[in-house]
Amino acid sequence: MNLSPLQKARYEYKPKLPGMLRNGVAEICVKEGAATQSVADQEKIQALFPNTYGKPEITFEKGANTAPAKRQVVGVILSGGQAPGGHNVITGLYDALKATNKDNVLLGFKGGPSGLLEDSYIEFTDDFIDSYRNTGGFDIIGSGRTKLETEEQFAIVEEVAKKHGLNAIVIIGGDDSNTNAAVLAEYMAAKNTGIQVIGCPKTIDGDLKNEDIEASFGFDTATKTYSEVIGNIERDANSAKKYWHFVKVMGRSASHVALECALETQPNICLIGEEVAAKKMSLSEITNYIADSVAARAANGDNFGVAIIPEGIVEFVPEFSALIAEINELLAGSKTEEFNALPTWQAKYDFIKAGLTESAFAVFDLLPTGIQQQLFLERDPHGNVQVSLIESEKLFSELVKNELAKRKAAGTYNGKFSALHHFFGYEGRCAFPSNFDADYCYSLGYNACMLILYGYTGYLSKVSNISKPAEEWVAGGMPITKMMNIERRNGADKPVIRKALVELDGKPFQFFAANREKWAVETCFTYPGAIQYYGPSEVCDITTRTLALEKS
């Protein structure tokens, strides 16, 4: 295999563990805290999880290990979208198992949850593990989005686990994956199988966080990767001085990625979906907000700028959500075939106009033709609009272009506006993990092993105090049920982990809000540059601006 110099060097990087995990497995004891309860719907969650609900949070401390000595056979899966650092969760878990007993075994099930159902696996060895240390991606065993949620699936997983003598399964994933981990843990506990289930918090979107989980892994690396490229674009914009760049970034359900990138790069515009929803902003209001910045900068002779748009922004716009709901109703059942059979876009346009309410059509008619057509070209298996496919960066640049044309005709604007578009998504999901994510993920895996040794199930591996140097990090675990509430999904009440949205009264957003008026008019760009792996700790080990502000 041909390796780059950086790849060779990263294989040899030794991740930093929390202080209490550095003395060896034999000197780690456990301290239990008070009993926990779910964030909401306590009675309903307790009824669904009678065997795993209400367990205490725990922390690991220096002291004699009192866990029962026995050979461990553990299975691990990667679930959902890729996030930098996933490989290190597995290497940390592997190293801790082998440090406990060289005869312990770690099996990696391939392709996500389906690997457990299909009994497709690999047994990890030193040589195999060593070739994935501190690297990005999920290619060590692959991932998948199969959900483990039915009794039939659980029975298959139980059968596969017993076949291999597994005493624990570690699920590395986001909120849905860890919800599935909690349900699987309850099943195994109810049947007294002796099979533990442990989760690890992963998502670059940053929405798996709460008072206990300070950050999901991968967010640090992904936002640094996006911020580097946004900084490069800002430098180019300030050099060429003739383009407005509209940059869409990942984050459909929350705007954490957009906010972090804005804190890192200080663009002229950054939309925050949670604010749009709270203020019930219309497409026209958002358009005017951006156009005002374009016009103010043009008055200073600056016909260029950068706007960051979160991927799911349109779903936060109330009038747009109402439009989508009406479209879904309009094309329900056989109406889709009737619509698709119409020979021209004009005929389809007339069909839409006749079928929508006046207010919904007014919003639809505001959209550029290309976006109008996108709403009807791609539909999910249920016949609904796939909002995630809407090119919101192009939507807003076109709306701004049209608004500026009106202002020019009215004599209130005399600048130049040329837009370029970018979408940064996959570029950040498999990047070489930053030192922070390499350390954090390795600690999560090592910590997951400790949870297994001490017999816990239905717990999430937890490492906190992570805004401080790794020596001061605190390792432990929390019951997954503590994060859960009941939500309506597909016509039924489901227990799910509550997504964390951007808090408008939180320090990160407040810092952004206090500075954005200046950033909107002046050129205040900052250039984070590439992720640094070697050098001073204040350069190489820094965490996100979001976490730094939250913990300041």
- Structure tokens, 368: 């550029």
The contacts of residue 118 (CB under 8 Å, 6+ apart) are 111
Asked if residues 199 and 480 have their Cβ atoms less than 8 Å apart, the reply is yes
CA-to-CA separations, 385 to 333, 336, 352, 372, in angstroms, rounded? 14, 12, 14, 11
CA–CA dist 223, 162 (Å, integer): 41
Strand partners, 496: 485
CA distance 543 to 552: 12
Spatial distance between the Cα atoms of 352 and 336, rounded to a whole number of angstroms: 12
Token digits for 519?
């950033």
Give yes or no: 205 in active site: yes
Token duo for residue 523: 């050129």
DSSP result, 46-64 = HHH-TTTTTPEEEEEEES-
Contact 89, 447 (CB under 8 A): no
Sheet strands (E) in 384-504: 419-424, 459-464, 474-479, 484-489, 492-497
From the candidates 95, 176, 205, 541, give the one annotated as an active-site residue: 205
Phi, psi of 109 (to 5 degrees): -90, 130
Work out the number of other CB atoms within 10 angstroms of the CB of residue 331: 23
> Parallel, antiparallel, or unpaired: how do β-strands 474-479 and 459-464 relate?
antiparallel
- Which residues are marked as active site? 205
